[in-house]
Amino acid sequence: MKNTLIIIMLLVLAFAVYKVLQPDSSTSNTTIDVATDTSTTPVSISTSTDFDDIPPTYVDSGLETLSAPVVKPALSTPPATPSFACDGRQHCSQMTSCAEATYFSNNCPNTKMDGNNDGVPCEEQWCN
């Protein structure tokens, strides 16, 4: 007798879950809540109008709140200038980039990197 009652309860529970997963043509949003009490199985049906008063940002207090990724705005400060130092280099063959050649040409004495004196150093190697 006890086993028969358990089988009947499981069938009722399986049917309720089946009804929840199947779309209902008469109402657009139907949910069935099945109680876990084995003596009775009350079923309540709620429609989408029951949820109209809940704002879209509603979070159930029983659930963890997930935080959205934080997007930081791009900074509008100019990029930091590379830290070059005048160390006696004078020729383009001693440079490793256009930025380095430009720094040496503008800030260091006795450089020989702007042959045509147009303000652009190392035009053949780096700053073309």
Residue range 60-73, pLDDT digits in tens: 565 555 566 777 76
The rounded mean pLDDT for the chain is 76
Q: Are 95 and 125 in contact (CB under 8 A)?
A: yes
Q: Do strands 31-34 and 43-46 pair parallel, antiparallel, or not at all (unpaired)? A: antiparallel
pTM over 0.95: no
Over 70: is that where the pLDDT of 12 sits? Answer: yes
Mean pLDDT confidence for 82-103? 91
Q: What is the pLDDT of residue 17?
A: 86
Higher-confidence residue: 50 or 6? 6
Alpha-carbon dihedral angle through residues 11, 12, 18, 23, given to the nearest 10 degrees: 150
Worst-scoring range by mean pLDDT, 35-39, 57-61, 81-85? 35-39
Q: Are 34 and 16 in contact (CB under 8 A)?
A: yes
Q: Are 92 and 126 in contact (CB under 8 A)?
A: yes
Task: Say which residue the tokens 């109209």 belong to.
Answer: 52
